[in-house]
Amino acid sequence: MRRNDFLRMLAMAGAGLAVPGRAQNGSVGEAGEVEINPAFINSGPGFGNKLALTFDDGPTPGITERVLAELKKRDMRATFFLIGAKVDARPDLARRLVDEGHDVANHSYTHPRLSGMSDAAVDNQITRTQEAIARATGVTPVWFRPPYGAFRREQGPLASKHGLGVAYWSVDPKDWSQPGSAVIAQRVLAASQPGSIILLHDLHPQTAEAVPAIFDGLISRSFATAPFHSFVGSPYA
């Protein structure tokens, strides 16, 4: 499928593109370079009963392995938004994510609140994480998620200049608040629908405890969980 057709289908499916700007809408700036309008998304296409499982804040030794084991048991794929400093601490664990078929993405280097930072400091966070992930896994991410979702619209070019789209989410069980594994699973299953981007954290034991019920519940509802590359694709390709 040609990229334009894919985007048109996304639009028809009512995908949650917060900002419709895409490479096709690029304009030529004063320097003569084509400026790419940053892509922001919070959900994917609603056809095909697909949704995306995303895990933030890893890799976390002792937790990420548990999530990986449950994914592998069910032959499911997810997308992991990684913290650069944690990748540098455990490059082997980051590499394992890719080896087991999952997508890896950028979630900043030290997890600061980027919305209040200078462009240079934000660029440093993004660049160091791109480099850490590429070094550990051989993969250069094409999606970025700002910590806390704290990112100003006008900061978008700081992501797009690295070829990164900005990915938020549509289902948030607030697992970080540790409400109990049963509550986490119930919240995810109650809110999931075709096109959802589910936000989880491979950081807390309760999330690791919740994933078997989440994964089995999604399967029993006939959802196809897809990694980003086969769900929302690349932001500017």
Chain positions contacting Zn ion, by CB under 5 A: 56-57, 147
Q: Shortest Cβ distance from residue 127 to Zn ion (Å)?
A: 18
Task: Name, in order, each residue with C-beta under 8 angstroms of 147's C-beta and a sequence gap of 6 or more.
Answer: 107, 108, 111, 112, 113, 114
> 148 or 219: whose CB is closer to Zn ion?
148
56: annotated active-site residue: yes
Closest distance between Zn ion and the C-beta of residue 8, in Å? Answer: 32
Q: Which two tokens stand for residue 96?
A: 């394992």
Q: Of 145 and 187, which CB lies nearer to Zn ion in the complex structure? A: 145
* 56/202 with CB nearer Zn ion: 56
Q: How far is the CB of 147 from Zn ion (least distance, A)?
A: 5
Cβ proximity to Zn ion: between 74 and 111 the closer is 111
204 in catalytic set = no
Query: Within 10 A of 26 (CB to CB), how many other CB atoms are there?
Result: 15
d(CA 98, CA 65): 13
- CB-based closest residue to Zn ion: 56
Q: At closest approach, how far in Å is the CB of 164 from Zn ion?
A: 16
**Residue 194 three-state SS:** coil
Neighbours of 23 (CB within 10 A): 16
Structure token digits, residue 232: 């929302």
- In the bound complex, what is the minimum distance in angstroms from residue 200's beta carbon to Zn ion? 11
Question: Are the C-beta atoms of residues 167 and 144 closer than 8 Å to each other?
Answer: yes
Q: Which is nearer to Zn ion, 106 or 196 (CB)?
A: 106
Q: Which of 102, 107, 201, 204 is catalytic?
A: 201
DSSP string, 51-82: EEEEEEEE--TTTHHHHHHHHHHTT---EEEE
Choose the catalytic residue: 56, 57, 103, 175. Answer: 56
Among 47, 51, 55, 57, which Cα is nearest to 9's?
Answer: 47
* Active site residues per annotation: 56, 201
